[in-house]
Each structure stands twice: as C-alpha cells, then as structure tokens.
Structure 1
C-alpha cells in the first residue's frame, strides 16, 4: 500500500526522514516512523478503523486526536484501553483493534 505520510509540508518544508520501525495491527505488519503515535502510523498506512462500537458495531477511529474522547482505544501488547493517539510506536509492537464487549456485559452481565 502506498504511504499517506506527509513528507513535504507547505509551511515546514521537507520533513526529515525518521528511522523506520515495524508494528503489527491485528497481525498484519506495517512500517512506522520512530516518533509516530500508533494513530498517526496507522493513518499514514491507510488504516482508518481502530475498533468497533461496543453496542452498535459501527467503526471507530481517530476523532479528537488529543486523548479526550477514547475513540481510538486499542489493545497493545496485551494491555487494553490504550489510546492510539497518545501512545508512541515501538519496534515490534503488537496492536489489536479494540475488543468489543457484548451487550450483556454493557448492561452489567458477565463477559
């Protein structure tokens, strides 16, 4: 897939190339740049959906991109509820789409 990364900015000029790292989203490998957040790395790779809404099943992705809304939450290296917009990538990071909870658990039932 072609990168959607900004390499030349109209105000900032040509941006310095960063060291590349490998990340995995739902088992698929992606290339990210050191200093990227999970959200920016996946966005540059064309990934828009990070999880699905727990109740409606609708796709969710980056919304506020400043850590307020929690729409970009994913599982990282086995840890749930990690905000993709605030978390820097690390080499070989394992990222999974946010796990949807059943409607039973949303109403206080058991998982």
Structure 2
C-alpha cells in the first residue's frame, strides 16, 4: 500500500483504526475517516468504473466531488462519489458498470 503515514496536518495514520471493506468482491484495508477513493488508491486500484457509452476506464479525476468520474456503488446504492464518501467497516463497494444505452436500443428497434 502507498500512503503518507505521518502528515504534519492530518496526523499519524498509526493512531487510526484499520477497517476492512470490499471492492468488487475483494477484501481491502482502509483507515478510519479515509475516503473510498483514498483507500482504493492506497491499495493500487485506479479504475473505478467504465464510461457509460464507450466503456473506457474511469478513475479519480478532480477528487473534490465536481466531476463525477469516481462514481461507484456502495451497499447497493448506485452513483456514490468515492472521493467524498468515507469508508465504513465492512462496506461493500462495487465498480460502476457499463449499462446498455437506452437511446441506442430505442433507435435500433426502429
């Protein structure tokens, strides 16, 4: 894992409780009060979802909640921003999946 363990403002991570969470069926470790995005990055995860139309990989872009690129599903709730959501113990996070384009399907039916 890659993390800054001792930060002059945020403090020492060793003072925080370690918690486990799941991403796409695999167990990972995070620290309390850490966002999903930070925990995934620290565990080497860069791809959080795929683009709805093209299927290209998407990850963390702005990390302040403006761009919506980091949308994931958390405990069956879709479109949760990983950069703004704090990891909770035993949280189940799933990557965003490419869904069929409804407009494209309607055009193909004509």
Larger-Rg structure = 2
Q: Report deviation, 1:65.
A: 0.3
Equivalent residues, number:
104
Q: Which runs of 4+ in 1 moved over 2 A?
A: 13-16, 106-109
5+ long unaligned stretches in structure 2: none
Which among 83, 99, 103 is matched to residue 101 of structure 1? 99
Name the CA distance, whole Å, in 1 between partners of 2:56 and 2:69. Answer: 12
Higher helix content, 1 or 2:
2
In the superposition, the TM-score normalised over structure 2's length comes to: 0.87
Q: Which residue of 2 aligns with 1:15?
A: 12
5+ long unaligned stretches in structure 1: none
In the superposition, the TM-score normalised over structure 1's length comes to: 0.86
Output the aligned Cα RMSD: 1.7
Cα distance, 1:50–1:33 mapped onto 2, change above 3 Å: same
